[in-house]
Structure 1
Amino acid sequence: MTKAVRLYQGAFGRASLLDSDHDLVTHAHPQCHVLVKAGGADASYTVRGRTVRLTSDSLVLVNAWEPHAKLQPLPGERTVVLVLCMEPAWLAEHDPLLSGSGMPDFFPAAQVAQPLSLRRLVDRLIMEVLGAAPTGLPNRAVEAALSDFMLAVTHLFALRRNWIDTYRIKMGNRPDARIARAIRYIGDHLDQAITCEELASMHSLSRQHFFSLFRQCTSMSPILYMNTLRMESAFKSLVECSTSVNALADNLGFSEPHHFTRFFRRNLGIPPSQYRRGVSLLA
């Protein structure tokens, strides 16, 4: 069972302090993110097709849209993990050389050692997060600690580019026009249960060819891409709207509310109702 110790959401992205003894299915986020061990046993993740370890001396770094999963721990092992998802717009606003944070090579390494200077920021961040009230008014000390840590991590381990180089690379990596249309269609129809066969048929492709082309352009399957957008929509709606979880499940194309709850739990570790009750907004 996973327990949400603290949950934060804001312009910077999301921060989740989770106490977990479970695995997580392969999933992705539109934001680059950092995994920090805050306590308990070491944990293992799959990133870029290999297993990496999250320890007191190392961080796990995951690029935007990069599929990854948390592996099943040994029986009885629990890990407290701080998951920081950083919005590209927030990073670019603080440092223009971080404008490429949404690109697949922003973090060249998936596992990095923590220098002592960063460990001090981690200790300060955990102290501020644990000392804050679980809900209520935004905590400026938490916000400042999050900001300092995230910028320090990106300055130490990220590939920094100016916006002109970022733009040129993005223009050179534009996906196949058929996949671009499929991506737009998925984003516009999250309330429908779309299949790969339907998407392939819309673009006069066989299922196998469409699947291969989509993975080639996005590094993920169409279903994983769709699930990523559904999770992002759920995060936003759970905080900004009063829509019930049952209605939200219907809006995201789930035939039954418990299917949505299971989907959310398998991606984050906790149910959507717990996320809504526990999340605090930061400016």
Structure 2
Amino acid sequence: MSETAIHSFQGRFGRVALHRAVDPSPAHTHPQLHILLKIDGGDGRYRTENGAAALTDRAAVLINPWCAHSRDGAADGQACLYLALYIEPSWLGRPAIGLAETGYPPEIFAKPEQALDDEVCAARDGLAQLLLARRERDEGERDDDAALEEPLFALLALLLARCVGGAHLPRGVRPIDQRIRRAIVVMREALSKDPGVDAIAVSAGLSRSRFFEQFRDCCGMTPRHYADTLLLEEAVRRLTEDDAPIAEISDQLGFSAQSHFTRFFRNKTGVSPSAYRRGARPWRTRRDRGLETLLTATQ
């Protein structure tokens, strides 16, 4: 057994998942802030560009966006059950657009490991139990998504306060209406298809005007603004990770012309897609070296 995803839950913050793992994982990266919290079983050992980190009952592993990391195999062969948080930087008001100026993504976590106090451990264990209990229900009974967000946000608030220099949750964060959650799923799954606001409202079971009102109340922004944020994050990911021509990326993302994609990207970031990609090259070199180093260390 290498790694088993037990259950996951997705929202506008990103994604939270329960995993069980025992074997090592190869070096890889994520565009999100990545927080790992042990729930049960053996301890985990991780290697990151910022140093080694241990995943234990009283210590979390913190991984910055795009930071190369890998997991060592369990010394005693005991599987580790852990909670993995994938937090979108834009949700915290920190869109990943700094590569063009700095050649490397901003480091949000100052260190790869964080000691956990009793309050965080209790919030972690409570959320894990809810996820495990929710997994046991049939799909048709899983209508309690909103019930997960309150304990999740409570845990995130504690982690941010301790791991990101006293940072707080975004203003106005509150559980999302189930109908808006369905709309968010549609929007994430149709980035390059643009089903249109009317179709998304229908999928949520709301009129157009009511959908706009509910979406703004739940997410603090309009559906169009949120869709643009998702699209920008995907554009950044492809420009950073993919060597495909910009015209091809533009087409894949659903733009009718490359000039439209360039205008969209420049309006959101202040730089063109080509300038952004040039700025990412030094980081890609550093990332590839980091991945190579970690891969060699785990062989």
Do both share a fold (TM > 0.5)?
A: yes
Residues 5/159 of structure 1: CA separation in 2 closer, same or farther (3 Å cut): same
- Distance in 2 (alpha carbons) for counterparts of 1:23 and 1:86: 23
Counterpart in the other structure of 2:130: 128
1:186 to 232, 243, 252: 243
Residues 182/16 of structure 1: CA separation in 2 closer, same or farther (3 Å cut): closer
Residues 147/184 of structure 1: CA separation in 2 closer, same or farther (3 Å cut): same
Task: Letter of the 1:55 partner, please give it.
Answer: T
Q: CA deviation at 1:56?
A: 0.1
Deviation digits for residues 53-109 of structure 1, max 9, x if unmatched? 1000100111111111111222532100111000122233xxxxxx37885321101
Counterpart in the other structure of 1:117: 119
- Distance in 2 (alpha carbons) for counterparts of 1:87 and 1:78: 28
Residues 124/4 of structure 1: CA separation in 2 closer, same or farther (3 Å cut): same
What are the residue-to-residue correspondences of 1:20-99 with 2, within 5 Å?
20-48=21-49, 50-74=51-75, 76-92=77-93, 99=94
Do the aligned residues in 2 keep the contact of 1:215 with 1:221 (CA within 8 Å)? no
Counterpart in the other structure of 1:149: 155
Do the aligned residues in 2 keep the contact of 1:65 with 1:104 (CA within 8 Å)? no
Q: CA deviation at 1:4?
A: 2.1
Query: TM-score, normalization: structure 2?
Result: 0.53
Q: Which runs of 5+ in 2 are unaligned?
A: 98-104, 169-237, 252-273, 275-279, 292-299
- Distance in 2 (alpha carbons) for counterparts of 1:106 and 1:82: 20
Do the aligned residues in 2 keep the contact of 1:106 with 1:160 (CA within 8 Å)? no
Q: CA deviation at 1:13?
A: 0.8
Query: TM-score, normalization: structure 1?
Result: 0.55
Do the aligned residues in 1 keep the contact of 2:160 with 2:167 (CA within 8 Å)? no
Does 2:281 align with 1:214?
yes
- Distance in 1 (alpha carbons) for counterparts of 2:284 and 2:166: 23
**Alignment RMSD (CA, Å):** 3.7
Residues 182/107 of structure 1: CA separation in 2 closer, same or farther (3 Å cut): closer
Deviation digits for residues 111-131 of structure 1, max 9, x if unmatched? 010012211211211121112
Q: How many pairs does the alignment contain?
A: 184
- Distance in 2 (alpha carbons) for counterparts of 1:182 and 1:55: 36
Residues 101/143 of structure 1: CA separation in 2 closer, same or farther (3 Å cut): farther
Larger RCO (alpha carbons 8 Å, 6+ apart): 1
Residues 3/61 of structure 1: CA separation in 2 closer, same or farther (3 Å cut): same
